[in-house]
Chain A
Amino acid sequence: MYNKPVIRKIFVKSVIVLLAIVFLFSAFQSVRLILQDARRGRLYLSQSEPARYHFMVILPTIEDEFFQKMWEGIQEAAEELNVGVELQVPRNILELRSGTLELMEIARLSQVDGVALYVTNEEELKPAINRTVVSGIPVVTLESDAPMSRRSGFVGSNSFKLGQEIGRLMQAAQPEGAKAALLKNEYFSERASQWSIIQYGILTSLSSGSSHEIVTERKTQIGVLSSEEKSRQILYLNPEVNVIFCTSLVDTISAANVVAEFDKEDEIKLIGYGYNQEIARGLEAGYIYGTLVRDPKSIGERGLQALLGLNSNQYVPSFIYIPSQVLTGDTQ
């Protein structure tokens, strides 16, 4: 048996060891926590590494899921390739055109190493694109092209194929004869040449002599309210419409809400654009017939790679197509 002094000694030693452990553990944890911020994102300028190039990415908005994904792809590629990427979005949606032009000008004056751009207005932006390219700064258009400009390259969906897919979906939705209404989003509306190609694709897909036709086109603006208003207009003014084709994610969801509100889910087939949880639910429940799913993340990644290639004097094709996917309630 141990006597009292031995127990006391063991107790005291245990307390010392315990305190020492807590002391060292606390010190270790504190230092670890203090140093941890170095690994927690780019909170401090000192954590930012010098980059090889400085590219500017100009997108119409960053609130849309499509553009968020695109930006994600760009960021991932930038990190991987050690490239500095500056995201610029026009200050507000009402100054989309002037804002984009201003940013193009700043990019040129700032002598960035490249610009990746979502073309919102081909006509207005063409001179700015040309000026930038002439000043030695490569410009790559993302998803929305300005084929008539001197842009260095395009990365995005194949517009003709996109049109064909839309046409095929319209036929499949209403085999008897599609009377389609197009909700043409602001992103699309000003891209005259690209939209023409899409329209051409739609038309080529519709079998000649069939009763499929595009009855009306409505222009929607970026935001939620506009698409809802335009959808209502279609239902009021064009009661013959049995297919609505949307050109943005927000438009698709708004149109679906309006169709449900008018209780015309059975009559009107909705063809959406983009993919998220809400659309997935719509496809599953059947109030969205099908959707065209693009891959914005890949578009962003490939766009940045293209800019890098152009700066490194590598061959970069003028068109880099990123495949789109068609999802319906059955194929989902």
Chain B
Amino acid sequence: MISFSSVCKRYPGGQEALRDISFSVEQGEFAFVAGHSGAGKSTLLKLIPAIERPTSGTVLVGGQNVAALRRTALPYLRRNLGLVFQDQKLLYDRTVYDNVMLPLAFSDHAPKEAARRARAALDKVGLLARERANPIQLSGGEQQRLAIARAVVNRPAVLIADEPTANLDAESASGILAIFTAFHQVGVTLLIATHDEAMIGRFARRVVRLAGGKLAAS
């Protein structure tokens, strides 16, 4: 499903974020990307939706080399990926419901179908009762769940989350992981970056471990 081969990423200025990374994640797999802050986890995740492009090497998503995709093709790649950003990127000028509606606006659904999907996504993360609230009124855990709802509303085959449990208390964090587990059970491929070793320990899942931009274990 997702395959990295000999991927290097050097940022302008010379900082080398990733060095010679090769691994692949099969369809339906649930994998953690682990490592300390600055190990290159975020960079690695950003290469998949082509938010960043590798300096060398190839990144295949569903057999397609995303590093070589033209700019105009990117939206169609990203629609098939559910992305949960480290800083969530919620929009605070609109309701919870409208935040979830955002990806549906440009994926061309009939209005009724869009509304149905948005409510289904909110229901899955337990926020249906808060649909009229503004994201600013939500707790940290609820905001994270909203970010997940927005990522899955288009029913992507792959869900990619960058530090989804950072800054959350243990209870909220396990709530988030329960949601991810539920998606995994219906066949969604998951790739979750975290520095929380305790959490990784609790789940017996595959771990892609980065250290200093290099692959330490996979």
Are these two chains actual partners, yes or no? no
A interface, CB within 8 angstroms of B: none
B interface, CB within 8 angstroms of A: none
